[in-house]
Amino acid sequence: MPFTVWGLAVAQALLMSGNILLVSVSALIGQQLADAPWQITLPVACQFAGLIVATMPAAHLMQRLGRKAGFMLGNLFGLLGAWVALQGLTGESLSLFACGTFLTGIAIGVGQQYRFAALEACDTGQHARAISLVMAGGILAAVIGPNLAIWSQDWHAASPYAGAFYGLLGLYVVALLLILLLPLPAAAPVQPGERMRSYGDLLRQPLLLAAVASGMIGYGIMVLLMTATPLSMEHHSHDFPDTAMVIQWHVLGMFVPSFFTGGLIRRFGTRVVILWGCAALLLSVAVNLSGTGFWHYWWGMLLLGVGWNFTFIGATHLLTFSYQPAEKARVQGMNEFLVFTAAAFGSLFAGQGVTLLGWTGLNLFALPWILLVFALIWRLNTREPVAA
């Protein structure tokens, strides 16, 4: 595997550490600063809004200027966002804090292109493994992110959560230096005369539709339940270290399977791996519905992470069969926009969903969406041959 892919895996680890750090504290900070229930997860929703805003421009910008320039710009947004969020937290301003998470969301949106950059740095036969390896960088995030949230509670007298954003600043500085050192692929602009299909024509492909739906719903349901978990655990009298541990193991569930997902895709096929992911998501909901003890949350979130891994990596690999080289930026940008729009709706609905539906109702809400992905991928077997 080329050195660049390994470097991108480390960059992904740093990016996801910051992301998980924000997930660990943002809803709790929102609860502390909010005046109404719907505002509780506003900072998390703003983070995803920033991510959505960045996705399509980032894909096209990198096609013109190259991966290195795009990733450096993304990390600069991350530095600015962490500083603005810190000012909002210490100044007890929800709007300023949400503005900071919006800017960090832009950085995260740009960083989602790491896995696509890895594809350009290796041979076609290594694609499934390269995607898995880059996503496996999240294993470090599972250790760094939640623990940084705990260790940094005494770093700033104004708030137990303020120290986390000093840690976030440090993560983005290290990521920026790493990107400067990596030999990333050069820009590859579209050549004159290359044909590009319209968005409508692209989405009429059953294969592309199934890939996008798998990414959207797998990610959206994961974010919905993950964001709601700290609020539900606090409601059921679990302390913050327990919540951080549950989130940590959830993130391990998201990324540890990455060491094996590429091999599973090569052996069993992309479709089968996505179906396994749907099964894990359904098991997660079943565990969540069975109780609200620590181990119910622990197992539920672990299975949720594994389900996300199989559906998201499977969807990314499936996507690569749906476009020509000239259409790369268009399809990748569109996919990221739709996937993270679904994630934003999940995060925005999580706080109000817990209030209106309760933890049980929120999990029941997730069921038909997971079954929809299962049906689309199952049906794809008779409509499109999928090379693994």
Asked whether 386 and 380 are in contact (CB, 8 A), the reply is: yes
- Residue 15's closest CA among 60, 97, 75, 66? 75
- The reported pLDDT for the residue numbered 283 is 96
Tokens of 354: 């817990």
Q: Which residues contact 208 (CB under 8 A, 6 or more apart)?
A: 202, 319, 322, 323, 331
User: pTM of the full predicted structure?
Assistant: 0.74
Distances (CA, A) of 152 to 90, 155, 164, 203, 233: 15, 5, 5, 45, 21
Q: Measured at the alpha carbon of residue 213, what is the angle toward residues 208 and 215, in degrees to the nearest 5?
A: 100
Share of the chain above pLDDT 90, in %: 22
Mapping DSSP to helix (H, G, I), strand (E, B) and coil, where does residue 161 land?
A: coil
Tens of pLDDT, residue by residue over 59-116, are: 778 877 888 888 999 899 999 998 998 888 888 888 898 899 899 989 988 888 888 8
Tens of pLDDT, residue by residue over 272-322, are: 999 999 999 999 999 999 988 889 999 999 999 999 999 998 998 888 888
Q: Region 191-214: what's the mean pLDDT?
A: 79
Res. 348 pLDDT band, cuts 50 70 90 = confident
Tens of pLDDT, residue by residue over 219-229, are: 999 989 988 88
